Amino acid sequence: MIGAGTGADLPFLPPELDVLATELTPAMLARAEGKRPGTRLEVMDGQCPALPDASFDAVILHLILAIVPDPAACLREAARVLRPGGRIAVFDKFLPDDAHPPLWRRLATPSPARSERTSTADFGDILAAAGSPLAVEHDEPALLGGVFRILLLRKHGNSIEA
């Protein structure tokens, strides 16, 4: 999991999985401590994680791509550490491609700089800029009529056991 934050998602992961949760901020990882027994927590930048190539079956990117300075680099690095056939789950504040944010959404985000990133970021552009061997397998709007988006990406190559 890249950008684990306070670890709020960790208890939802199956107990049989070997999980590494990374976060840029030590204070956030301290809050994640103990939320899921057996989880390794490491301070790491999601845009350049110090992890070996093709070493994970899956990567979770929950509310991280819309806030990192270089979302294409983060996605590219997630693909790099993924084994061929592996999957990336993206849960984030992306509108459907080519959609314009409604006024209420622009007004609900206080910082002008953040509003621009989280309201108008186009996942298709990020995926193209990442230049990674990823294909979108599933894409759906989630909560509140599409305020968030759920995407499942697969890395090209031989499939792995799920």
pLDDT at 149: 86
Please state the separation of Cα 148 from the chain's center in Å.
Answer: 12
Query: Which amino acid, 6?
Result: T
pLDDT at 141: 78
DSSP state of 41: E
How does pLDDT run across 82-112, given as a tens digit for each residue? Answer: 999 999 999 988 866 666 656 655 556 555 4
Residues of the chain with pLDDT under 70: 95-121, 142-147, 158-162
- pTM here is 0.84
Q: Which tokens in the block code for residue 141?
A: 């709007």
State the Cα–Cα distance between residues 52 and 38, nearest whole angstrom: 21
Superfamily of the domain at 45-155? Vaccinia Virus protein VP39 (3.40.50.150)
pLDDT at 98: 61
